[in-house]
Amino acid sequence: MAYPTISAPYGLVPVGLIGGRSYAGSTRQMRIASNYGTAIGKGDLVKRVNDGTIERDGSTTALPATGTLGVFMGCQYTDPNTSQLTFNNQYPGSIVASDIDAFIVDDPDIVLKAALCSSGTTMATVGRTAIGNKISIISNTLNTLNGSSKLALTSGSIATTSTLPFQIIDVVEDTKTGSDAFQEVLVIYSAHEDNGSNVSIGGHAYRNPVGL
Would you give per-residue pLDDT tens digits along the chain (212 residues)?
456 779 999 999 999 999 999 999 999 999 999 999 999 999 999 999 999 999 999 999 988 878 899 999 999 999 999 999 999 999 999 999 999 999 999 999 999 999 999 999 999 999 999 999 999 999 999 999 999 999 999 999 999 988 899 999 999 999 999 999 999 999 999 988 776 666 667 889 998 877 65
Plot region of 165 (φ>0 → left; ψ -120 to 50 → alpha; else → beta) = alpha
Tell me what pLDDT residue 171 has: 98
User: Residue 193: its pLDDT value, please?
Assistant: 77
Of the candidates 38, 58, 65, 50, which has an alpha carbon nearest to the alpha carbon of residue 151?
58
Task: Give the SS3 label for residue 29.
Answer: strand
Query: Around Cβ 157, how many Cβ atoms within 10 Å?
Result: 19
The DSSP H or E segment spanning 119 is strand 110-119
Q: Label the pairing between strands 101-105 and 122-123.
A: unpaired
The alpha carbon of residue 45 and the mean position of all alpha carbons in its chain are separated, in whole angstroms, by 4
Query: In the prediction, which pLDDT does 195 show?
Result: 66
158 Cβ contact list (under 8 Å, min separation 6): 126, 130, 133, 134, 135, 168
Identify any residues that bridge with 114 across adjacent strands, giving them in sequence order.
Answer: 185
Predicted pLDDT of residue 5: 78
Q: How far apart are CA 114 and CA 78, in angstroms?
A: 31
pLDDT (0 to 100) of residue 197: 64
The confidence score (pLDDT) of residue 209 equals 77
Cα radius of gyration (the chain) = 17
